[in-house]
Amino acid sequence: MIDFETTPERYKHWKLHVDGAVATLSMDVQEDETLADGYKLKLNSYDLGVDIELADAVQRLRFEHPEVKVVLVTSLKPRIFCAGANIYMLGSSSHAFKVNFCKFTNETRCAIEDASRHSGQRYVAALNGTASGGGYELAIACDEIYLVEDGNSAISLPEVPLLGVLPGTGGLTRLVDKRQVRRDRADVFSTLAEGLKGKRAKEWGLIDDYFPTSKFQEGVAARVRGIVEADGQHAAAHGIKLNPLHVEATANGREYKYVSVRLNREGRYADLTMRGPEADMPHTIEEIEQLGDAFWPLQAYRELDDALLHLRVNELETGLVCLRTEGDIENVLAVDETLAANKDHWLIREIILHMARTLRRLDLTAKSFFALIEPGGCFAGNLLELALAADRTFMLNNPEEKVEIATSEMNASAFPMSNGLTRLQSRFLAAPEKAEAVLAHDGTFDTEEADQAGLVTFAPDDLDWEDEIRVAIEERTSLSPDALTGMEASLRFAGPETLDTKIYGRLTAWQNWIFQRPNAVGPQGALTNYGKPTQAQFDFKRT
């Protein structure tokens, strides 16, 4: 089982050092510390374990070190920054693992950009040596890139010419969308296995600058100082510690304080329940800071994030997740009111951003989601987003029992999807006035009101409820998981296309397909034959 929890004290592949406004993340991959057998992580190549540590560091810098303004990403290996994802790891992994690996790594790259965009932590890549494949994709996720000019170091995306696959973590999209490299130059670069060195790389916009070896450290340090000084003087904020999550794992599920996962392996589905906050949640910044990472919206969504990652990677045959909530709607709305009232404080901002990232993780998870709204539930405010994210929503229609949902100010803009829209906006793309009417609604929605407002898919009565849910689950889990993954990814992101939707939609679809093609992974495929004396033999028919 793969565990996504770690701490800096347990890092094997990264060194994190914080000095005032500057943090340094140094890559020093230990080649024998792999997640699986059969390969070595040479030349700062990485597997999922390396990226789990990186994701943890990015998260901790936001919560534990809000004083940091610049994060310098570099390597401790001489003349090598990063060789990208380990080829032998990819070649020996299952198709499902490869795709999940690429998706998690994409999410980590996007988290870096999210930190830069919203948290004021600028990322600077100091390439002290060659950066190829995923190594350059890590660099291009940063705000600025500086390369050493030592006669050998280059940047490259060699996946197409060497492996018969695509750069797996957004490199192609970031070339033309983020760095706005000319299409013809991007075409040349992406088919040039040896890559480009300093002068040409700068001319083409692939890096921001280059320095000779003797002036590299000095040049990068000067740029870092410039960013810090340009940011101005601010009162230093004191971070909060992110403590390890407490989870009781059994053969049939996982139990956290606020999240419960129950697996029905025979039926290939899981029940995931989120419990709402207690009535005595703090309302002031001082009280919230004192509570730290135990504050409900932070702890509950950290637990949800961990549960989603576990389901993705460790429970591959679980194709459907039934979402439920338990608790008091008023308590959820009270927390949302506190978040909204203090959203300009750095800690509350980071909590809201983390909630948004976790909800996007749910959007991007290749499993079906059904939301089941029943008595005792609290699908309100931030937890209503779970129902809005679901592929289908069922709400019990029973006049004898209290079944309600509610919106809050947080549903209006706090949790954007990858397409830049809220889930309400995406839901009512053809009729934006309906989203506005939902937000303007006074009080809770009962089942009939929710149905009329377009917030639920089905509203069975109490006589039909159990049968309808059972049939819906059985039907969904009987369908092709491949077809469902493609269908859901196509339907979940209506509206405008963004850098994120291009990466997750286009790239995930293409990478998913190409990773199964014989030209990549067949006996004569490029990925299969990489590093062997045999050469790839392609079927040259275009399809």
- Contact of 227 with 124, CB cutoff 8 Å: yes
Please, which pLDDT band fits residue 513 given cuts at 50, 70 and 90? confident
- Contact of 81 with 27, CB cutoff 8 Å: yes
- pLDDT at residue 512, as a whole number: 76
Rounded Cα–Cα distance for residues 48 and 50 (Å):
5
Please, which pLDDT band fits residue 436 given cuts at 50, 70 and 90? very high
Q: Give the domain 248-487 fold.
A: 2-enoyl-CoA Hydratase; Chain A, domain 1 (3.90.226)
What are all long-range contacts of 172-176, with beta carbons under 8 Å and residues at least 24 apart? 172/507, 173/499, 173/502, 173/503, 173/506, 173/507, 174/137, 174/140, 174/141, 174/499, 175/140, 175/206
| Burial state string for 154-169 with b = 16 or more CB within 10 A and e = fewer than 16 | bbbbbbbebbbbbbbb
- Contact of 89 with 34, CB cutoff 8 Å: yes
Q: What is the mean pLDDT of the chain?
A: 95
- Contact of 121 with 71, CB cutoff 8 Å: yes
Please, which pLDDT band fits residue 141 given cuts at 50, 70 and 90? very high
Domains in the chain: boundaries: 8-231, 248-487
Which tens digits make up the pLDDT trace of 285-304? 999 999 999 999 999 999 99
- Contact of 307 with 254, CB cutoff 8 Å: yes
Which tens digits make up the pLDDT trace of 161-192? 999 999 988 999 999 999 999 999 999 999 99
Residues of the chain by 3-state class (helix, strand, coil), percent to 5: 45, 15, 35
Q: Using the predicted structure, report yes or no on whether residue 509 has a pLDDT greater than 80.
A: no
Which tens digits make up the pLDDT trace of 88-120? 999 899 988 998 999 999 999 999 999 999 999
Rounded Cα–Cα distance for residues 260 and 248 (Å):
10
Stretch 298-320: mean pLDDT, rounded? 97
As a whole-number percent, the residues of the chain with pLDDT over 70 amount to 99
Rounded Cα–Cα distance for residues 82 and 74 (Å):
9
- Contact of 247 with 299, CB cutoff 8 Å: no
Report the 3 state secondary structure along 512-528.
Answer: HHHCCCHHHHCCCCHHH
The superfamily in CATH containing domain 8-231 is 2-enoyl-CoA Hydratase; Chain A, domain 1 (3.90.226.10)
Torsion sign (Cα): 297, 299, 305, 308: negative
- The SS3 assignment for 365 reads coil
Query: Nearest-CA neighbor of 297 among 322, 320, 262, 327?
Result: 327
Which tens digits make up the pLDDT trace of 453-464? 999 999 999 999
Q: Do domains 8-231 and 248-487 have the same CATH topology?
A: yes
Residue 354, amino acid:
H
Which tens digits make up the pLDDT trace of 8-26? 999 999 999 999 999 999 9
Query: Nearest-CA neighbor of 84 among 156, 190, 3?
Result: 156
Bridge partners of 254?
A: 249, 261
What Rg do the C-alpha atoms of the chain give, in angstroms? 24
> H/E element holding 71?
strand 70-75
Token pair 């859901």 in the structure block, residue: 488
Q: Using the predicted structure, report yes or no on whether residue 493 has a pLDDT greater than 90.
A: no
- Contact of 69 with 122, CB cutoff 8 Å: yes
Bigger pLDDT: 505 or 431? 431
| Burial state string for 103-135 with b = 16 or more CB within 10 A and e = fewer than 16 | bbbbbbbbbbbbbbeebbbbbbbbbbbbbbbbb
- pLDDT at residue 236, as a whole number: 64
Stretch 364-387: mean pLDDT, rounded? 97
